[in-house]
Amino acid sequence: MSTGIIRVGLLWHGDRESRDTATLTGSRFEPTADALRAVGIEPVPIIYNDDFADEVNKQLTQLEAVLVWVNPIEQGHDRTMLDAVLSNAATNGVMVSAHPDSILKLGTKEVLISTRDMSWGTDTHMYTTVWQLREQLPPRLAEGRPRVLKQHRGNGGNGIWKVEQHAADPSLLRVRHALRRSLEETLPIAEFIERCEIYLEGTGKIIDQAYQERLPEGMVRCYLVQDQVAGFGHQLINALYPAPAGAQANDAPQPGPRLYFPPTQPEFQAIRLKMENEWVGELCTTLDIEREQLPLIWDADLLYGPKTDAGEDTYVLCEINVSCVTPFPDSALELLAQTTLKRLANYSPSASTGETEA
C-alpha cells in the first residue's frame, strides 16, 4: 500500500454481531493496540468466522500485516478455512504473525517428537493408527510409569490424558482428562483406546510422553517475541495431578492462577539463557525454519524434569503455543510492537513461508 499509513489487523474469533460492533477500546487487545500506536502503527480490529471468511479475506488486502489470535479449535471448528485465508493473504504481501506453515512445524504436539533429542526432550512416541495404539501403549504402561497422551492439535486440555495401569488389575487403566472439571476414571484398556480413536481420524496423531513427577511444582510458560524472551508465566496446572494420599480420586486440586513475570525475573534466568542461547537455535535447525519465520508472539510450556546430580533443575517441553497466545505479560507489549515494525520493514512474502530465502 502507498498511503504511508501502516495498518495492522488484530484478528480474533467471533460472530456476525461482534464483527459489526468490533472495537479495540475496552477489549482484551487494547494494550496491544496502544503499543502498536506508540510505534506509528494503526491497529485495526478484525473479527473472523468461517461464515464470513470471504469478507475477512477482502479486509486483509487493505492491511500490511495481521496479528492472529484464534485457537486450533473454536466452537467445534478447526482452523482449516482460516489458515487458507491467512496463506492467501501472505502470498499477496500481508505479513501474518504466525504463518500457517510455521504453525504446522511449531504449534502442533508433533513438535515434541521432532525435538525429543534436544535437552528439553523426554521419552516420547507417536501413534498414527489405532493398531499402533493398541499394540504399543499397553507394553509402555506395563513398565509402571504413567504416560500422558496428547492429540495432535487442540487447546484447553482437550484431548490430553494422564494414563496409568491399574495397580490391582493390569487389564484396567486409571485415566484423567486434562479438560477442566474432568474426573479420574477407571476403565478397561480397550474402552480407553476406543475413546481415543477420534484423535486418529484422517491425518490425526497422538503423542505419548512420559509423565513428569514434578508436575505439582507447576509449569513455566516462556513467552517469546520472535527469538527473544519477553516474559514468563508460572501456573500450578493441577489438571493431571493425582489426588492427595488417602483421598478420593475426585479430590485432586483444580488449576491455580497463572502469574506473570518480566524476562528479568531472577528464578527464570536459567530458562531464559537456555532458550535464547540454545533452544531457539536448535529448534530452528531441527525444524528447518529461519528466525525471521518464527511467530511474532509465541510461547513454550516447560515442565520441571528430574534434578541433576548437582541439584540443578532440568526442563521438559510440554507444548509450544502459537495460534492464540493470550494473555501474555505486559513486558512483551513494547517488544512485540517494535518487532512488528522491524519485520514489516524487511518483509518478503516468500521468506515468511520458508519457500525461498528468508
Q: How many CB atoms lie within 10 A of CB 343?
A: 17
CATH of 106-121+214-326, one of 3.30.470, 3.40.720, 1.10.10, 2.60.40: 3.30.470
Q: Cell digits for 30?
A: 487494547
116-130 pLDDT tens trace: 999 999 999 999 999
pLDDT tens-place string over residues 346-358: 876 655 554 432 2
What the block records as the C-alpha cell of 200 is 486418529
Reported confidence tier of residue 181, pLDDT bands at 50, 70, 90: confident
What does pLDDT average to over the chain? Answer: 90
Kindly tell me if the per-residue pLDDT of 2 is higher than 70: no
DSSP 308-329: PTTS--EEEEEEEE-S---S--
Give the SS3 label for residue 81.
Answer: helix
* Higher pLDDT pick, 61 / 348: 61
Higher confidence at residue 356 or residue 78? Answer: 78
Each domain of the chain, given as residue ranges in start order, spans 6-96, 106-121+214-326, 124-210
Residue 340 reports pLDDT greater than 90: yes
Reported as a single tens digit per residue, the pLDDT across 95-121 is 999 999 999 999 989 999 999 999 999
**Cα gap 179→238, rounded to integer Å:** 11
The C-alpha cell that represents 281 in the structure block: 537455535
**159/196 Cα distance (integer angstroms):** 8
Give CA–CA dist 215/160, Å, rounded. 15
Task: Name the superfamily (CATH) of residues 6-96.
Answer: Response regulator (3.40.50.2300)
Residue range 31-41: mean pLDDT, rounded: 98
Q: Give the C-alpha separation, 348 to 16, whole Å.
A: 33
Q: What is the pLDDT confidence band of residue 234, given thresholds at 50, 70 and 90?
A: very high
**Using an 8 Å Cβ cutoff, are 210 and 147 in contact?**
yes
Tally the residues of the chain. 358
Record the pTM: 0.89
